[in-house]
Amino acid sequence: MLPPTPSTPLVALDAVAIDTETTGLDLKTARLVQFGAVRIRSGNVRTDEHMSRLVNPGVPIPAQASKVHGITAADLSGAPDFAALAPDVEYFLGDTILIGHTISYDIAILAREHEIAGRRWTPPRTLDVRLLARLTVESGPHDDLDSICSALGIEIEGRHTAIGDAMAAANAFVALIPHLRSRGIRTLAEVEAATRQRAEQDARSNGGILALDPPPAADRTRALIKVDSFPYRHRVRDVMSTPPIVVPGATTLQEAVALLLERRVSSLLTSSPEHGIGIITERDVLRAVAGDSASAMASPIDAFATRPLQTVEEDAFVYRAIGRMDRLAIRHLGVVDREGNVVGALTTRNLLRHRASTAMMLGDQIDSAPDVPTLARAWSQLPRMTQMLLDEQVDARLVSSIISSEICALARRAALMAERQLAEAGRGGPPVPYALMVLGSAGRGESLLAADQDHAIVYADGAPDGPGDEWFAALGEEISNILDAVGVPFCKGGVMSKNANWRMSRARWIETIDRWVRRQRPGDLLNVDIFFDAVPVHGAQDLAESILDHAYDVAKHTPAFIKLLSESARGTRVPLTLFRKLKTDSNGRIDLKLHGLFPLVAGTRVLAIKHGIQARATSDRLRALIDASLIGESEGASLIEAHRSVLTAMLAQQLLDAEQGIPLSSRVAPDRLSEHLRADVTRAVSAVATMNDLVSEGRF
């Protein structure tokens, strides 16, 4: 079972649910008479992976105890004592999370049995179903196991047997996951923080002592592991071989070998009308000539080529290609452009200095995930990867671009999974071509870890609420639910393709965009804020690009609309005290999205729209404005640096909060930042005044 990280989603958690039956309730004297445990893997109770054992306590069993669990001395005839059973128990439990109802009692029993047996005992991380249930309204006021299971619709089989109660606790935990998620409790760190807070509240109200152990300190050795940052700094187009060498499928193997030697390459692409594009490598040649070499050398290479050609997009980061090669156990990839045309080749020779590591697998794990738990487990690696990159002093803008790339990949995978679910339900495939777009910060390539859903669908044609729209409504619902389960929560503003306002035909999108620009209401500006940063991630990209082109064109030629955008963009005050220190709230935090990121991003966006610049990233927009002499070199450079500083501070804070189970947000505690970074952020929020001046009417 995989060791969990603080960011592991509950839906992807590997754990073991346990229960004990004993000779009594007094922890000073009680002894174990029965032990039960069952595995939980990726949100599923594995009833085929369980352990149920009777244990000879070596002491009499009080009749009162037997009346509860039904175990008598006669039942224990021939049963081993705990010392003999301990190795099996320790092997089954491993070092995973343990789950149970009032589990502190079971842990205390196991600790005492280990002590009596003279065996080492390491306190495990635990989750108490009783405390988890108290975090949800649905569980009701009673928190005994029977009441919890009844409220969740779970029938307990074998109540007051160790395996029966362990199974009940496991099923209750799995059933509680969506209820916890609806309350913003998604990860292991968040549930540990929430249960500890609840336990503290209970202890204070009852005048008792907190019995819940704090979670173990984070494994700092992981943070010290260095990562080769090259695969995260460069895209495939930077390292691929180009142009690709393509030969007809009728080319003989002998001719192909000669070409491999002449061009000093390790592979050729082969194309034929019957079979499409394939690849033949040095290894394919060796396998072909291992038998009848004379016959093989005269044969066409189509007989030995591998199809389909495995590919990666040219603008993907290198680490995604490394992950794909590792998963497929191949040494060559074709490189394609956004239209799917083969434009290059990538080999392990290109990547010799950049071998795969666990963190590099993230991208391909997302692309290949077969189900929601696997997708969630891959997604949970993102904070660790982010920390490693920041430790390597990788620019926060590049890190946020990588995060955005994975959000787009996550949305694309969710769409594919949703399509499959609809097909399996008998609803068929897409009725017309469509595209899924990711909007907002991820569309700009500037997303951070506190991301929520912002996505939309454009389809070729069809009436609102018609048969086609109903299919896409179901698709949007599935996409939204998958993303929420994985760890990207529902958008509070409803910007999701399951909602009709963000799911339309191309013609209706054009009408909607025109209405946004024409009406010029404050509410419409929120739509603009989201929509003008959109990027297509799945499906017919030309559909999405056509409405985005229209949006930029109509906005550029509507001065009144530009003016309204300008007024909105420069409405933020600089949050500094008289002595040039950052103003914070009662919790010692400042909202850097509101006071830093938003005015920088919004101001740059309105300048880009006015001047027809369709770059999406804020820094790219600023560079384009500088190159066009629309803003000065010095002020443009200071704004680019301000943007970097704000992103760095927000990422650093979000990593700290994720480790402690604090809900991620844009609020940063300046006192937790290094002195250098705090000074950078102070200068960054001062740049808001520069941006306000740039978007003022007089500066156009």
Kindly list the domain boundaries of the chain, sorted by start residue: 10-216, 230-356, 558-700
Q: Cα separation of 374 and 414, whole Å?
A: 12
Spatial distance between the Cα atoms of 208 and 688, rounded to a whole number of angstroms: 51
- Stretch 131-160: mean pLDDT: 83
CA-angle at 84, arms to 82 and 90, nearest 5°: 75
CATH of domain 230-356: 3.10.580.10
Q: What is the mean pLDDT of residues 328-339?
A: 88
Residue 118 has pLDDT above 70, yes or no: yes
Q: What is the largest CA-CA distance in the chain?
A: 94
Task: Name the least confident of 311-320, 458-467, 495-504, 515-524.
Answer: 515-524
Instruction: Write the DSSP symbol of residue 393.
Output: T
What φ, ψ does residue 525 adopt, rounded to 5°?
A: -65, -30
The span from the CA of 74 to the CA of 481, in Å, is 52
What confidence score (pLDDT) does residue 66 get?
92
**If you average pLDDT over each of 6-15, 28-37, 670-679, which comes out highest?**
28-37
pLDDT in tens, 659-689: 888 888 999 999 888 888 999 999 888 888 8
Tokens, residue 242: 């180009």
- Provide the pLDDT for residue 473: 97
Residue 214, pLDDT score = 46
pLDDT at 1 over 60: no
Tokens of 411: 């949305």
pLDDT band at 217 (very low <50, low <70, confident <90, very high): very low
Q: What is the pLDDT of residue 581?
A: 84
pLDDT, position 570: 72
Cα separation, 590 vs 595, whole angstroms: 8
pTM, two decimal places: 0.73
| 166-191 pLDDT, tens digit each | 999 999 999 999 999 988 898 898 99
Would you state the pLDDT for residue 569?
Answer: 76
Beta bridge partners of 434: 459
Closest to 502 in 3D by CA, of 538, 525, 472: 472
Could you give the 3-state DSSP secondary structure of residue 591?
strand
Quote the percentage of the chain above a pLDDT of 90. Answer: 49
Residue 141 predicted with pLDDT over 80: no
Query: With the C-alpha atoms ordered 375, 377, 382, 388, is the resulting torsion angle positive or negative?
Result: negative
Edge-to-edge strand list for the sheet holding 332-336: 311-313, 332-336, 342-347
- Please state whether beta strands 276-281 and 32-41 pair in parallel, antiparallel, or not at all (unpaired): unpaired
Q: What is the CATH number of domain 10-216?
A: 3.30.420.10
| HSE-CB for 85 with a 13 A CA cutoff | 23
Contact 399, 472 (CB under 8 A): no
pLDDT tens-digit series, residues 239-291? 887 678 889 989 999 999 998 888 888 889 998 888 889 999 888 888 888 87
Sign of CA dihedral 157, 160, 164, 169: positive
The per-residue pLDDT for range 539-573, each reduced to its tens digit, is 999 999 999 999 989 988 888 888 888 877 776 67
pLDDT score recorded for residue 207: 56
Would you state the structure tokens that stand for residue 475, as one six-digit string? Answer: 């698709």
Looking at 1.20.120, 1.10.287, 3.90.1280, 3.40.50, the CATH number of the domain 558-700 comes to 1.20.120
206: pLDDT strictly greater than 70: no
Question: What is the per-residue pLDDT across 473-530, written as a single tens digit (0 to 9) for each?
Answer: 999 999 999 999 998 999 988 999 999 999 999 999 999 999 888 876 665 666 677 8
Q: How far apart are CA 54 and CA 76, in angstroms?
A: 7
Q: Report, as an integer, the average pLDDT of 107-131.
A: 93
Q: What pLDDT sits at residue 643?
A: 94
Rounded percentage of the chain residues whose pLDDT exceeds 70 = 90
**44-54 vs 535-539, strand pairing mode:** unpaired
pLDDT above 90: residue 31: yes
Residues 420-434 have a mean pLDDT of 96
